[in-house]
């Protein structure tokens, strides 16, 4: 590793002192899917449109790095102490409608089976999350500031 940050992250990995989520953002109605019991973890439900916007904003690695560094600076932590992991928004993951050929000509799967599409969307929303992670020694302190950190993320850039 050539940088101090890379050496620190490699050392933490070797010693299993991994970053842990302290803030998880979930779509409204799906917070139940995140197991926060007994953990220094705050789960906040937000509107799906807002989460989609954040997820799209945080797909560029340089943008994520800048946000992580801004959060670390704000909470007086070394660079690399806070990580942000945003899943891609589900329109990238839910398949396009698929034409099924039959002896009668065929049909479009999602058009013919609306329940299947609703099920795919529900499954995705249950697993979708934007997670903010921290080094173990900062997790509890940052979890207590989850609302403040979310506000910072929403206003950032």
Query: Looking at residues 70-87, what average pLDDT do you find?
Result: 95
102-137 confidence digits (pLDDT tens)? 998 888 888 888 888 888 888 888 889 999 999 999
d(CA 45, CA 34): 11
pTM as predicted: 0.82
pLDDT on residue 23: 98
DSSP 122-144: HHHHHH--EEEEE-HHHHHHHHT
Average confidence score pLDDT of the chain: 89
Q: Are 43 and 26 in contact (CB under 8 A)?
A: yes
Phi-psi region of 105 (alpha: psi -120 to 50; beta: other; left: phi over 0): left
Position 74 confidence tier, pLDDT thresholds 50, 70, 90 = very high
d(CA 130, CA 57): 11
Percent helix, strand, coil in the chain, to 5, is 50, 15, 35
Q: H/E element holding 46? A: strand 42-46
47-71 confidence digits (pLDDT tens)? 999 999 999 999 899 999 999 999 9
Is the pLDDT at 12 greater than 80? The verdict is no
């Amino acid at each position: 590793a050539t940088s101090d940050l890379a050496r620190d992250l490699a050392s933490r990995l070797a010693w299993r002192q991994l970053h842990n989520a302290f803030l998880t953002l979930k779509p409204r109605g799906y917070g139940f899917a995140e197991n926060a019991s007994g953990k220094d973890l705050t789960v906040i439900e937000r509107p799906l449109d807002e989460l989609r916007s954040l997820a799209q904003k945080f797909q560029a690695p340089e943008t994520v790095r800048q946000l992580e560094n801004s959060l670390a600076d704000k909470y007086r932590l070394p660079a690399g102490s806070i990580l942000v992991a945003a899943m891609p928004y589900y329109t990238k993951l839910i398949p396009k409608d698929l034409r099924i050929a039959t002896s009668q000509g065929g049909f479009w799967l999602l058009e013919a089976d609306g329940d299947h599409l609703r099920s795919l969307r529900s499954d995705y929303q249950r697993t979708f999350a934007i997670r903010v992670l921290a080094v173990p020694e900062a997790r509890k302190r940052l979890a207590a500031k989850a609302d403040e950190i979310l506000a910072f993320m929403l206003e950032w850039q």
